[in-house]
């Protein structure tokens, strides 16, 4: 009898411990958020939303379509910036498409994120914000959907995939060989189609380091500005160049008041 009681107690302990472990595993967050918000799966991809506590009179509600939503982004360096958006009553959302580099396969998930936000009562015309490789995500989606974009902002953003990550690295995301992607680069490289945004009169604000060697200024933000100017839309784009900065965590990139003001103004305009 004594041994039976001990055995039952041991079994109960194991079951209890196993259940506790399962609960702990289930409780593990899908994404570590830098600000209060929600993370959930959409099409088997992790999507996040920072929802403002400030009520806005605008309907539908304004939001920022952010990229890249990788496991570590948005990160703590961007916290102040996103706090300003939330304080202005503007939500921030994004979805993790992995290293999609703006490929058609990744665009399917960005479409799903957009549709989810619209379904929740958010604007059909968000302001897009792309940081670094997120510029490829944002601009590739924007040139496919210019009527859904109220503004485009960037922090040392990539717009030319030949400059970063390069055709060789990007090819697999496009389900092509490097040779095939190079042959069809004009169909897929967002920088080559930016005239679509210029013709749609989509305003742009970018901050970029002059000595950026990872995402070269000349091939990306400066080239976008030249293309806007060529299309007669030069007044719609501003590129703030920081002379002594490259591709790094310099606080000025993430505490740029002009960029924040641009995003808030555009998100609220819903024109």
In angstroms, rounded to a whole number, what is the distance separating the alpha carbons of residues 53 and 148? 25
List, in order, residues 6 or more apart from 23 with CB less than 8 Å away: none
pLDDT tens by residue, 112-145: 999 999 999 999 999 999 999 999 999 999 999 9
pLDDT tens by residue, 182-209: 999 999 999 999 999 999 999 999 999 9
How distant is the alpha carbon of residue 115 from its chain centre? 15
- In CATH terms, the fold of domain 30-269 is Rossmann fold (3.40.50)
Sheet of strand 63-67: strand arrangement: 38-42, 45-50, 91-95, 63-67, 127-131, 151-155, 204-209, 237-242
The pLDDT of residue 221: 98
pLDDT tens by residue, 52-107: 998 888 889 999 999 999 999 999 999 999 999 999 999 999 999 999 999 999 99
SS (H, E, C) 182-195: HHCHHHHCHHHHCH
Report if pTM > 0.75.
yes
Name the β-bridge partners of 256: none
The pLDDT of residue 28: 78
How distant is the alpha carbon of residue 217 from its chain centre? 20
Name the residue ranges covered by the structural domains of the chain: 30-269
């Amino acid at each position: 009898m004594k041994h039976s009681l001990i055995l039952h107690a041991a079994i109960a302990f194991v079951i209890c411990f196993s259940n506790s472990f399962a609960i702990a595993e289930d409780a593990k967050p899908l994404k570590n958020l830098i600000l209060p918000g929600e993370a959930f799966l959409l099409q088997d991809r992790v999507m996040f939303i920072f929802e403002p506590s400030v009520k806005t009179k605008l309907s539908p509600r304004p939001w920022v379509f952010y990229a890249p939503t990788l496991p570590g982004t948005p990160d703590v360096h961007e916290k102040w910036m996103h706090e300003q958006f939330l304080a202005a009553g503007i939500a921030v959302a994004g979805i993790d498409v992995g290293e999609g580099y703006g490929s058609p396969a990744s665009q399917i998930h960005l479409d799903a994120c957009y549709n989810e936000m619209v379904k929740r009562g958010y604007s059909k015309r968000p302001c897009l914000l792309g940081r670094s490789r997120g510029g490829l995500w944002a601009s590739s989606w924007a040139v496919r959907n210019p009527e859904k974009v109220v503004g485009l902002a960037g922090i040392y953003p990539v717009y030319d995939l030949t400059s970063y990550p390069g055709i060789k690295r990007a090819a697999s995301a496009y389900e092509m060989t490097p040779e095939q992607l190079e042959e069809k680069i004009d169909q897929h490289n967002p920088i080559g189609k930016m005239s679509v945004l210029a013709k749609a009169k989509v305003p742009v604000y970018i901050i970029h380091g002059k000595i950026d060697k990872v995402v070269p200024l000349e091939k990306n933000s400066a080239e976008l500005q030249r293309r806007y100017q060529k299309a007669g839309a030069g007044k719609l784009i501003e590129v703030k160049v920081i002379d002594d900065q490259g591709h790094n965590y310099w606080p000025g990139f993430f505490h740029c008041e002009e960029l924040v003001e641009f995003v808030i103004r555009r998100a609220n305009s819903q024109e």
